[in-house]
Chain A
């Protein structure tokens, strides 16, 4: 069964460093999403991406964040200068038609 994959599973970085989280969505899906979950809190929407552009973003998704689909398979989330409060689990999801979403296993980001 096709699935969304994410790499790395765990990333440790120092405050101020740039990180890139990678996702490979399901191959025929057209809609892509990033979510995050701070430890002990609810999952929060960050951004949705369709047709090579951001279709919706939350107030969390400020200028520190960017997304890209650099080729036909990868979907990336970049955090330019990480802060301690960026420590969270980051989930990628994809959807064929914009509703039913399939989630990846997540990347745990730890900022020290």
Chain B
């Protein structure tokens, strides 16, 4: 059974700070998603990655398959980045289902 753990659970930052959210998983995976959940509850997919690094604007996601670890970085954070960030993993073996972490609640203060 794949367990997905995130840290920290809560994160408060000042506008402009560099943010890192971590995700680790217990079994081999085929791909990992980073998702953003807004206060109203909607979920937006930020990245899907299976190796290396991806960048979109101020967001960077990295994954280390050997260490079973992924990180989401936000550069020059802004109050509009305040949300819950969730990592979710596809297990190896062709399973389509996602196993979710509990999420990291990020608050960026002006």
* Chain A residues engaging chain B, CB cutoff 8 angstroms: 31, 33, 35, 37, 41-45, 48, 50, 55-56, 58, 89, 91, 95, 98-106, 108
- B35 is an interface residue with CB less than 8 A from chain A: yes
* Chain B residues engaging chain A, CB cutoff 8 angstroms: 30-31, 33, 35, 40-45, 48, 86, 88, 90, 95-103
Chain A residue numbers with a CB within 8 Å of B30 are: 99
B100 touches A89 (CB 8 A): no
- If A42-B103, A43-B86 touch, does A103 touch B44 (CB 8 Å cutoff)? yes
Sampled A-B contacts (15; CB under 8 Å) = A33-B97, A42-B100, A43-B88, A43-B98, A45-B97, A45-B98, A45-B99, A50-B96, A56-B95, A101-B33, A101-B45, A103-B35, A103-B43, A103-B44, A104-B42
CA distance A56 to B40 in the complex (A): 29
Nearest to A89 among chain B residues (CB) is B41
Q: Helix, strand, loop or mixed for chain B's interface?
A: strand
Chain B residue numbers with a CB within 8 Å of A100 are: 33, 45, 48
Q: A43-B86, A43-B88, A103-B43 provided; 5 other pairs, C-beta below 8 A?
A: A45-B99, A98-B96, A101-B45, A101-B98, A105-B42
A44 touches B45 (CB 8 A): no
B42 touches A99 (CB 8 A): no
Going nearest first, the 3 A-B pairs with the smallest beta carbon separation are A45-B97, A103-B43, A105-B42
CA distance A8 to B44 in the complex (A): 19
CA distance A104 to B43 in the complex (A): 7
- If A43-B88, A99-B31 touch, does A48 touch B97 (CB 8 Å cutoff)? yes
